[in-house]
Structure 1
Amino acid sequence: MAYKQDDAAPFRSVTRQVLFSDPRLGCEWRYFEVAAGGYSTLERHHHVHATMIHRGRGQCLVGEVISDVAVGDLVFIPPMTWHQFRANAGEILGFLCLVNADRDRPQLPRSDELATLRQNKTIAEFIGAEA
Structure 2
Amino acid sequence: MKNKSLRQTSFCEIGSSKKICRKDSNRCALYRYKGDMTWQGIADEPYKTAADGWSNIVRRVLIGGRGESAKFHVRYFEIAPGGTSSLERHRHEHVVICVKGEGVVRTGRTRRKMRYMDTLYISPDTVHQLRNPNDVPFGFLCIVNARRDKPKVLA
Q: Does 1:4 align with 2:51?
A: no
The reply to whether residue 14 of structure 1 matches residue 60 of structure 2 is no
| Largest Rg, 1 or 2 | 2
Q: Which residue of 1 aligns with 2:130?
A: 85
Q: Which residue of structure 1 lines up, in the alignment, with residue 80 of structure 2?
A: 35
Task: Give structure 1 regions of 4+ aligned residues with deviation exceeding 6 angstroms.
Answer: none
Matched, 1:95 2:155: no
The CA deviation at 1:6 is 2.3
CA distance in 2, matches of 1:58, 1:6: 23
1:63 aligns with 2:123: no
Q: Quick check: 1:23–1:101 contact (8 Å CA) kept in 2?
A: no
Q: Which structure has the highest helix share of the two?
A: 1
Contact 1:57 1:93 in 2 (8 A): yes
Return the TM-score normalized by structure 1. Answer: 0.79
Q: Which has the higher contact order (CA 8 A, sep 6+)?
A: 1
Q: Give the CA deviation at 1:39.
A: 0.5
Alpha-carbon separation, structure 1, partners of 2:48 and 2:69: 26
Identical amino acids, percent of aligned pairs: 37
Match of 1:18, as an amino acid? Answer: V
Q: CA deviation at 1:23?
A: 4.3
Given the two structures, how large is their TM-score scaled by the length of structure 2?
Answer: 0.67
State the secondary structure of the residue aligned to 1:5: coil
C-alpha RMSD of the superposition = 1.2
